[in-house]
Amino acid sequence: MVGLDGYRSYAAFGLAWRSCVALPFRSRGGGQPDVVIRYGEVPSSLPPAVGHAPWQAAPGAFLLRFEGVAHFYVGNGREILIAADGGDERAISACLIGPVLAALLQQREVATLHGGAVEVRGGDGAAVFLGATASGKSSLLAALVDRGYALLADDLTGAVLTEGQPVILPAFPALRLWADALDLLGWRARPVVRVRDQLDKYEVRVQRFRTTPTRLCVCYVLGDSRSENVSVAAVPSAEAFQWVNRHSYRRSFSHGMKQGVGRFLTLSRIAKQVPTFRVKRALHPFRVGPLADAVERHMETLFAQDQCPTQADAHPCPSFG
Amino acid sequence: MSIVWLASYPKSGNTWFRALLTNYLQGGPSASINALVGAWKANDRELFNELVGLDSSELTADELLRHRLAFHALLAEALPSPTFMKVHEAFLPVPAPRSAAASPDRWLFSGVEAVTVYLVRNPLDVAVSYAHHRNRSIDDAIEQMNNPHAVESGQRGGLGCLIPQPLTTWSGHVSSWLGQNELPVHVVKYEDLVAAPTAAFDAALRFIERHYPEFPADAAAKGRMPQNAKQRTAALATAVDHAAFHRLQTQEAREGFYEKQPTALSFFRAGVVGDWREALTATQVHSLVEAHGAVMAQLGYLAEAQAFLADAGANE
C-alpha cells in the first residue's frame, strides 16, 4: 500500500524496506525501515573511477549507471538513491531487484547466489538451485511451486550464516518467466505482468511463499547434457566451493566494495556442510516435468537417508550491523 | 587491449579458421575442437552480466547493443592482446539512448582497438549448410538469409545462453563489414581456404602480424612460433593437416562439439565447395540471386549461379 508520502513499506531478505518505487516484495506495516529507496542526487562517479564498466564500487558505496533508464547509488547497505534517466518505473524496478539489490545485500555481507530456492522437507530446510542464465532455474522453481513447495527466492538468493549454519533469506513471492516457460508450465492463463514493455518476460506472483529464513539443506547446480535423461551426481566436497562460488551473483561487485569476507565465510560453510549435486538435463528439448521429477525423487532419497542437517524451526532474522 | 574480430555470416568457415589458428598456435598434436581460440566471449551472457553488471536478459535489443561497447572494452582490458573473438553480427550502428543528446555515430565493433578477419562464402553453399545447422529446410535458411531482421541465437519468447546476434541479410552482412571504414579488414573466402588452405591462412596471419607485431599474446605460443621461412611453411602445413575437415568431423563424432546447435545433427557437415548444385532448386538459387546478386557479383559468385539458372531454364 502506498503511504501518504508516496512510499511503500515492504519486507524482503529479512529486512524492512521503505521504497518510492513499486517492488514485488511483500507488504508490511510501518516501523523503522532498514533500507530506504528514494529518488535523489546520484554521484557521477566514485573516485578513483577506472575502467569501462557502467558500475563502480568502493567500500560501502556502489554506483550503477544504466543509461536511458536510471542511475543508482547504494550506500552502506541502508540507502538506494535513484536518478531517473528516461526509464519507466518497471524498467527501474527490474534493475533494482537485480544488480542493485545484489550490491545492497553484499554491503550487508549477505552472500548473493545466482539461483532460486524453495522450502523442502516439510519446512525443515531449503533447497537451492544454482545455474547460469537460461539454465531452467525459474522454470524448475515454478514446477516445484506447482507441486506444493513454497518459494523462497528466484534468480537472486541471499544466504547468511546464523549460528554457523548457512541460511537462505526469503526474497519475494514472485517468479520471472519467459513466454516459452509459461507455455511449458501451462501458466499462460495466470495473471502476469510484463517485466518490461519490449520483453517477452513476465512476473508471476506465487501464493506459496516461505516468509522466514530457512537453513540450507541441499544445493543443486543445473547444467546441460547431450542426453535427454536427467542425471544427478554428487559434487566432491573438494570441488563444492568452486561450484558455489562460480554461481555467485555479481561477485565482482563485492570485490570492488572490498566486502567479500562474509560472502567467503558463507560460501565456505555451504561447500563444507551442504550436500551439493550437479543436475544435468537436455537443453533441447527442455522438459521441466522430468527435471522436477528427478529432483523430487533425489530429495526424497537424500532426506530418507537423513543426509541433510535439520532445522527444528525457522531461525530468527539475522541481524546486520 | 586489442581484439581481432573473426567475423562472418554463420556457416562461412569461421570455426574452421579458428581450428587452423589454434593448431598453428599450439603446434604439436591436433588441437581439441572444444578448446578453439576465439570462442563466444563477445556473446557470453554470464560474462556480460558479471562484467557489465546489468542483467542481459532484462535489456532491450538496443540497450544490449549499447552495453556491448562497454563489454568489449572490458574484455579487451581483461584479456591478453591481441585476443581473438568470433562474432556473427553484422557491423552494426549502436543507437543512442532516448535521453542522450545528439551523439556521434558509434559502431558495435569499433569501440576498441581492433582489426577484422572477415570470412565469406558463396551464399548458395551457405544456404545448404545453414539449413543443416538449424535442422530446418533450405527454404527456411533462405528466408533467414533474405530477412533484414534476422537474428542468430535470438529465441523468440525465451532466452538462450548466448546474447542474440543481429545478422541482417546475407548481403547486408557482407556489405556492412566490407563497406565500413572504421576497422582494417582482411577478407578470407571460404573457397580459397578449401582450394589453397596454406596460402589463404598464411595471408590472414600476415595481416594480423602486420597490425600486431606482438602476436601471439601467449608467451608459450610465442616461443613456438617459426623463426624462418622454412619453419613457417612446415608449421602452416602441420596446422592445415591437423585442421583438415575430415579430422574435425572425426573429433566431433568422437567427443562432441559444444558449439554445435542443440538441434543440429552435426556441426562439421561436408565442408565442400559447390554442394549447392545438388541441393538447391532453380527457384531457390533464383531467390538468393535476386536478393544478393550485386554482392555475389562483387565476390565472384554470381556468374556460376547465372549459368546454373540459364541451364535450368534451357532444360525446362
pLDDT at A313: 37
Question: Among A126-140, A299-313, B27-41, where is mean pLDDT lowest?
Answer: A299-313
Instruction: Give pLDDT, residue A185.
Output: 93
pLDDT in tens, B289-308: 999 999 999 999 999 999 99
Residue A76, min C-alpha distance to chain B (Å): 19
Q: Could you give the CA distance from residue B128 to residue B32 in angstroms, rounded to a whole number? A: 26
What is the Cβ-side half-sphere exposure of residue B58, based on CA atoms within 13 angstroms? 26
Residue B263: which of A85, A135, A284 has the nearest Cβ? A284
Provide the residue count of chain B. Answer: 316
3-state secondary structure chain B: CEEEEEEECCCCCHHHHHHHHHHHHHCCCCCCHHHCCCCCHHHEHHHHHHHHCCCHHHCCHHHHHHHHHHHHHHHHHHCCCCEEEEECCCCCECCCCCCCCCCCCCECCCCCEEEEEEEECCHHHHHHHHHHHHCCCHHHHHHHHCCCCCEECCCCCCCCCECCEECCCHHHHHHHHHHCCCCCEEEEEHHHHHHCHHHHHHHHHHHHHHHCCCCCCCHHHHHHCCCCHHHHHHHHHHHHHHCCHHHHHHHHHHHCCCCCCCCCCCCCCCCCCCCHHHHCCHHHHHHHHHHHHHHHHHHCCHHHHHHHHHHHHHCC
**Count of CB contacts below 8 A, A vs B?**
102
Q: How many angstroms separate the CA of residue A219 from the nearest CA in chain B?
A: 20
Distance from CA of A226 to the nearest CA of B (A): 8
How far are the Cα atoms of A42, B93, B282, B283 from residue B312, in angstroms, in the given order? 68, 40, 7, 10
Q: Which residues does residue B151 pair with via DSSP β-bridges, in sequence order? A: B166
Do residue A68 and residue B100 have CB atoms under 8 angstroms apart?
yes
Q: Which long-range contacts (CB under 8 A, 24 or more apart) does B105-109 make?
A: B106/B69, B107/B180, B107/B182, B108/B65, B108/B68, B108/B69, B109/B5, B109/B7, B109/B72, B109/B182, B109/B183
- The band of A318, judged by pLDDT with boundaries at 50, 70 and 90, is very low
Q: Which of B9, B27, B14, B7 is nearest to B216 (CA)?
A: B27
Residue A228 confidence (pLDDT) above 80: no
Confidence at residue A321, expressed as pLDDT on a 0 to 100 scale: 31
Q: Are A222 and A137 in contact (CB under 8 A)?
A: yes
Alpha carbon distance A57, B48 (integer Å) = 17
Q: Where are the domains of chain B?
A: 2-314
Indicate the range of A125-129, B180-184, B233-237, B243-247 predicted with least confidence.
B243-247
B55 contacts A98? CB cut-off 8 A: yes
Interchain contact, A252 vs B156, CB within 8 Å: no
Cα gap A186→A180, rounded to integer Å? 10
Nearest alpha-carbon partner for A216 in A277, A128, A95: A128
DSSP bridge pairs for B96 = none
The A-side interface with B (CB below 8 A) comprises 51-55, 64, 66-69, 85-86, 94-95, 98-99, 132-135, 178-181, 183, 195-196, 198-201, 226, 250-253, 282-284
Q: 3-state class of A14 per DSSP?
A: coil
Contacts of A179 in chain B (CB under 8 A): 157-158
CATH second-level architecture of B2-314?
Answer: 3-Layer(aba) Sandwich (3.40)
Chain B CB contacts of A98 under 8 Å are 54-55, 58
Do the strands A193-194 and A201-205 form a parallel or antiparallel pair, or are they unpaired? Answer: antiparallel
Q: Any idea what DSSP says for residue A27? A: E
Amino acid at position B105, single letter: D
* Interchain proximity A199–B63, CB inside 8 Å: no
Q: Which runs of E-coded beta strand occur in A226-312? A: 231-234, 276-282
Could you tell me the three cell numbers for A72? Answer: 543508482
Least confident of A145-159, A307-321, B185-199: A307-321
Burial A180-192 (b: 16+ CB within 10 A, else e): bbbebbebeeeeb
Which is higher by pLDDT, A49 or A219?
A: A219
**Residue A316 pLDDT > 60:** no
- Please, are residues B201 and B133 in contact by the beta-carbon 8 Å criterion? no
Q: What distance, in Å, lies between the first and last C-alpha atoms of chain A?
A: 28
pLDDT at B10 over 70: yes
C-beta separation of B126 from B288 below 8 A: no
Which residues of chain A make contact with B67, given a CB cutoff of 8 A?
Answer: 54
Compute the distance between CA of residue B54 and CA of residue B60 in angstroms, rounded to an integer.
12
d(CA A215, CA A126): 6
State the pLDDT confidence band at B219, using cuts at 50, 70 and 90: confident
Helices (H) and strands (E) in chain A, counts: 8, 19
* 8 Å CB contact between A85 and A66: yes
Residues of B in contact with A283 (CB under 8 A): 262
- Give the residue numbers in B contacting A (CB under 8 Å), as ranges: 45-46, 49-58, 60-61, 63, 66-67, 70, 73-74, 77, 97-100, 155-161, 256, 262-263
Chain A closest-CA separation from residue B162 CA (Å): 9
CB contact under 8 A, A196 and B60: yes
Helix, coil or strand: residue A6: coil
* Chain B residue closest in CA terms to A228: B262
Say whether pLDDT at B101 is over 90. Answer: no
Closest listed residue to residue B123, CA positions, set B114, B115, B131: B131
Dist CA A309 CA A269 (whole Å): 13
pLDDT for the residue B225 = 85
Picking from B53, B77, B100, the nearest residue to A54 by CB comes out as B53
pLDDT, chain A, mean: 89
Using CB atoms, pick whichever of A52, A98, A250 lies closest to residue B73.
A52
Statement: residue B201 has pLDDT above 90: yes
Comparing alpha-carbon positions, the chain A residue that sits nearest to B71 is A53
Alpha carbons B82 and A99: distance in angstroms, whole number: 31
Cα separation, A83 vs A98, in Å, equals 17
> Which tens digit of pLDDT belongs to each residue from A81-98?
999 998 899 999 999 999
Q: How many CB atoms lie within 10 A of CB A85?
A: 19
Distance from CA of B83 to the nearest CA of A (A): 18
Are A255 and A104 contacting, i.e. CB atoms less than 8 angstroms apart?
no
Angle, CA of A107, A109 and A114, to the nearest 5°: 90
Element (H, E) at A94: helix A89-95
The verdict on a CB contact (< 8 Å) between A178 and B159 is yes
Fold of A113-171+209-304: Phosphoenolpyruvate Carboxykinase; domain 3 (3.90.228)
> Would you kindly state where each structural domain of chain A is located, as residue ranges?
8-107, 113-171+209-304
The alpha carbon of B22 is separated from its chain's Cα centroid by a whole number of angstroms, namely 15
pLDDT tens by residue, A141-184: 999 999 999 999 999 999 999 999 999 999 999 999 999 899 99
Q: Report whether A36 contacts A8 (CB < 8 A).
A: no
Q: In this structure, what C-alpha cell is assigned to residue B245?
A: 575437415
In chain B, the percentage of residues whose pLDDT exceeds 70 is 94
Read off the pLDDT band of A317 (50, 70, 90). Answer: very low
- ipTM summary value: 0.88
CB contact under 8 A, B97 and A86: yes
Residue-wise pLDDT tens digits, A279-292? 998 767 788 999 99
d(CA A112, CA A91): 22
Best of B159, B162, B255, B265 to disrupt the A interface (most A CBs within 10 Å) is B159
Q: Identify which of A66, A179, A196 has the shortest CB distance to residue B158.
A: A179
Instruction: Say if the Cβ atoms of B160 and A134 lie within 8 Å.
Output: yes
Q: Are A309 and A218 in contact (CB under 8 A)?
A: no
Please indicate whether residue A67 or residue B123 has the higher confidence score (pLDDT).
Answer: B123
Lowest mean pLDDT among A216-220, B138-142, B227-231: B227-231
Contacts of A96 in chain B (CB under 8 A): none
**Per-residue pLDDT tens for A31-71?**
899 999 999 999 988 876 656 789 999 999 999 999 889 99
pLDDT in the model for residue A320: 35
Per-residue confidence (pLDDT) for residue B158, from 0 to 100: 57
pLDDT-wise least confident of A252-266, B13-27, B127-141: A252-266
